[in-house]
């Protein structure tokens, strides 16, 4: 019979003490963060602006300033467009989302056109010709990368004030999760990092559920605040101890804590979903009874 071997240097093994994930596979992998298929393409915009730097010297200070300004604007436009693509990917990945407060792709396209306008001011072209080239560049950037999402998604009937409260709580929770990830990365232990990523994915499932129904915030706020803050503090203390002592019992206790937290977060998420389903069934029953009383529907 085949036997799986593990050890200190095995991807799913541990040290000599044998604690943690040795001898078993990680049940699942955390979901990858959403990525836009065009996310890496703005880099080529910056690369195509490199000739402005090559021709910046030798024609006097005014030509130098114009070339450097054109390159800076185009590089800034590339960065803004990439940020806009990342925001659009996050928007598309959620069933409930607000439109970006700052339309990065649109402003990036405008900056791109302005950079081309400044860089294209050759004597034979003139100011009007340079502006036309800039307008064409802006249009091409919008055509290539599209516009930012301009409407909210899935927020019909949701109180904006309540949604803002949810957004603030989730932002605070994401800070705790980021602190956990940064702390556990100091161990250099891949199984531990994967274990923390699984917990982060579980916590984000709860975030998404509350986002879809902000009325659930009161029932989940302790999980998204107090419990995550405690998990962050426990992670920092564990990492400090583990890096100094490699205490196998501390590792086992920490992994058990993550398991308990995952079970509780999963149970709370399931409870919120079931509560929403029960609320829907109640609304349906009430409406059917009203229709029956009014003679519109017969039982």
pLDDT tens per residue across span 181-240: 999 999 989 999 999 999 999 999 999 888 877 777 888 888 888 899 999 999 999 999
Distance CA(94)–CA(208), nearest Å, equals: 8
pLDDT at 87: 87
Secondary structure of residue 127 in the 3-state scheme? helix
Dihedral (Cα; 50, 53, 58, 60), 10-degree rounding = 130
pLDDT at 119: 82
pLDDT at 168: 87
pLDDT at 24: 38
How confident is the model over 112-128, as a mean pLDDT? 80
pLDDT at 25: 40
Q: Which residue has the higher pLDDT, 146 or 291?
A: 146
Mean pLDDT of the chain, nearest integer: 79
159-181 residue pLDDT tens: 566 777 888 888 899 999 999 99
Percentage of the chain exceeding pLDDT 70 = 74
68-110 residue pLDDT tens: 888 899 999 999 999 999 888 888 877 767 778 889 999 999 9
pLDDT at 56: 64
Distance CA(36)–CA(292), nearest Å, equals: 50
Distance CA(244)–CA(248), nearest Å, equals: 12
Percentage of the chain exceeding pLDDT 90 = 32
Inter-residue contact 196 to 228 (CB < 8 Å)? no
pLDDT at 7: 45
pLDDT at 11: 44
Distance CA(162)–CA(159), nearest Å, equals: 5
pLDDT at 199: 93
């Amino acid at each position: 019979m085949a036997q799986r071997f593990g050890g200190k240097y095995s991807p799913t093994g541990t040290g000599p003490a044998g604690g943690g994930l040795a001898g078993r596979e990680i049940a699942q992998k955390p979901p990858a963060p959403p990525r836009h298929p065009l996310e890496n393409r703005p880099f080529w915009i910056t690369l195509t602006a490199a000739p402005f730097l090559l021709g910046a010297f030798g024609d006097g200070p005014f030509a130098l300033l114009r070339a450097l300004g054109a390159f800076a604007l185009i590089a800034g436009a590339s960065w803004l467009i990439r940020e806009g693509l990342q925001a659009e990917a996050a928007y598309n990945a959620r069933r409930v989302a607000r439109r970006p407060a700052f339309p990065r792709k649109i402003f990036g396209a405008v900056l791109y056109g302005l950079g081309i306008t400044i860089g294209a001011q050759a004597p034979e072209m003139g100011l009007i010709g340079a502006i036309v080239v800039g307008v064409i560049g802006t249009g091409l950037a919008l055509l290539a990368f599209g516009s930012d999402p301009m409407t909210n998604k899935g927020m019909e009937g949701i109180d904006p004030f309540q949604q803002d409260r949810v957004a603030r709580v989730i932002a605070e929770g994401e800070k705790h999760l980021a602190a956990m990830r940064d702390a556990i990365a100091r161990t250099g232990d891949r199984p531990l990092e994967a274990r923390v990523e699984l917990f982060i994915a579980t916590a984000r499932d709860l975030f998404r559920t509350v986002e879809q129904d902000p009325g659930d915030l009161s029932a989940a706020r302790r999980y998204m605040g107090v419990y995550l803050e405690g998990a962050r503090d426990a992670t920092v203390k564990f990492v400090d101890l583990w890096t100094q002592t490699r205490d196998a019992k501390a590792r086992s206790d920490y992994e058990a804590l993550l398991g308990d937290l995952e079970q509780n977060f999963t149970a709370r998420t399931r409870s919120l979903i079931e509560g929403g389903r029960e609320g829907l069934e109640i609304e349906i029953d009430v409406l059917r009874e009203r229709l029956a009383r009014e003679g519109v529907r017969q039982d």
